[in-house]
Amino acid sequence: MLTVNAWAAPSAADPLVKTTIERRDVGPHDVLIEIAYAGICHSDIHTVRGEWGDISYPQVVGHEIAGTVTEVGSEVTLHAVGDRVGVGCMVNSCRECENCLAGAEQYCLTGNTGTYTAIDRDGTITQGGYSTHIVVVEDFVLRIPDAIPFEKVAPLLCAGITTYSPLQHWNAGPGKRVAVVGMGGLGHMAVKIAAALGAEVTVLSQTLSKKDDGLAFGAQHYFATSDRQTFTDLANHFDLIINTVSAEININHYLRLLRLNGTLVSVGAPPEALPVQAFTLFNNRRSFAGSGIGSIAETQEMLDFCAEHGIAPETELISADQINEAYERVLASDVRYRFVIDVATMA
């Protein structure tokens, strides 16, 4: 066992505090990673505050992890000491169900082993990336291309793959009108990736305050959803809408912006239901879909795609003692566009 520094939520109501946790010994197929950077995803906040259901405390979250391999198990072939690597939202899966065998282990029928709050193979509860080290089985560890700045890469491990996967699956590309709802951590990555895929990108944000940024990230159009006229002007317009909003919205208003055969994919995960009116879907034969992260192979593909296209997240580097303040800023939509913890400050 290795005792390492971490920042954990002691309860649903209290701020995160510095603590120590145990990491398992490096097994034959494991790698030990010294974590350098950990992104703050809105899912971390939903989780520690109990918004998605009860969890056991103390709990360390964080599933956007970038670090360096410092030890490998005797059977490891994919990674070597000194490699820059990443870990995202899952650290294992059953590897034998229909979905795992189809290369979609994020949809493992027994539930993938989440990087935090999941029951690990040894029966312990997984603890996430707000910590100095993590031990992960080698095939759930990603290679970080040199072309992506190390201090910016971590958010690709969740925000990047969660938007890349539906954009690819629903064929965002030249001739396709794609809207991104909410321009926070996921939203700003969706804009950059959709633009790199060649789609015509529109941002639907609550206000126009981030318009210059949205256009700089590659969007052609930018509208405020606080202006009701937006919903009239853009009716029956989009082929694909990626909803990244972390809060409850009236999804019917957005579905009506889809043209014939269009699809709205919700990746945002508010605790509330998003009720849909049947007639909203009948018109234009619209689809309402969801999507969860992406597979390991697809995550590697996304990292290589970002390296090739010069795409990196916009990040604000913080020290560990600023995590609680960062949470409040995320909740206030005051994030430009992802907080990344400098894990060296946990020493």
- By CB under 6 A, name the binding residues for ligand NAP: 41-43, 46, 158-159, 162, 182-187, 205-206, 244-247, 249, 267-270, 291-293, 330, 333, 335
Q: Which is nearer to ligand NAP, 249 or 296 (CB)?
A: 249
Among candidates 282, 291, 222, which has minimal Cα distance to 256? 282
Q: Which is nearer to ligand NAP, 72 or 116 (CB)?
A: 116
Find the shortest distance in angstroms from Cβ 27 to ligand NAP: 28
Q: Which is nearer to Zn ion, 126 or 280 (CB)?
A: 126
Q: Which is nearer to ligand NAP, 173 or 292 (CB)?
A: 292
d(CA 264, CA 179): 9
- From residue 226, alpha-carbon distances to 21, 204, 231, 254, 276 in Å are 44, 10, 10, 13, 20
Q: Which is nearer to ligand NAP, 267 or 341 (CB)?
A: 267
Find the shortest distance in angstroms from Cβ 242 to Zn ion: 15
Candidates 41, 60, 189, 330: give the one binding Zn ion (CB under 5 A). Answer: 41
- From residue 299, alpha-carbon distances to 36, 142, 157, 159 in Å are 19, 8, 7, 11
Q: Which is nearer to ligand NAP, 199 or 330 (CB)?
A: 330
Residues 152-211 that bind Zn ion (CB under 5 A): 158
- The site that binds Zn ion (CB under 5 A) totals a number of residues, namely 8
Whether the Cβ atoms of residue 211 and residue 204 lie closer than 8 Å to each other: no
2 near Zn ion, rule: CB under 5 A: no
* Overall size of the chain counted in residues: 347
Other beta carbons less than 10 A from residue 235's beta carbon: 14
Cβ-based neighbours of 241, under 8 Å, separated by 6 or more: 178, 179, 180, 181, 204, 254, 257, 258, 262, 263, 264, 265
* β 258-266/287-290 pair status: parallel
Instruction: Decide which of Zn ion, ligand NAP, none touches 97; Cβ closer than 5 to 8 Å per partner kind.
Output: Zn ion
| Number of residue whose CB is nearest ligand NAP | 184
φ/ψ (deg, to 5) at 14: -95, 155
d(CA 92, CA 189): 25
Instruction: Decide which of Zn ion, ligand NAP, none touches 246; Cβ closer than 5 to 8 Å per partner kind.
Output: ligand NAP
Residues 72-111 that bind Zn ion (CB under 5 A): 93-94, 97, 100, 108
d(CA 290, CA 295): 15
Instruction: Decide which of ligand NAP, Zn ion, none touches 100; Cβ closer than 5 to 8 Å per partner kind.
Output: Zn ion
Residues at the contact surface with Zn ion, assessed by CB under 5 A: 41, 43, 93-94, 97, 100, 108, 158
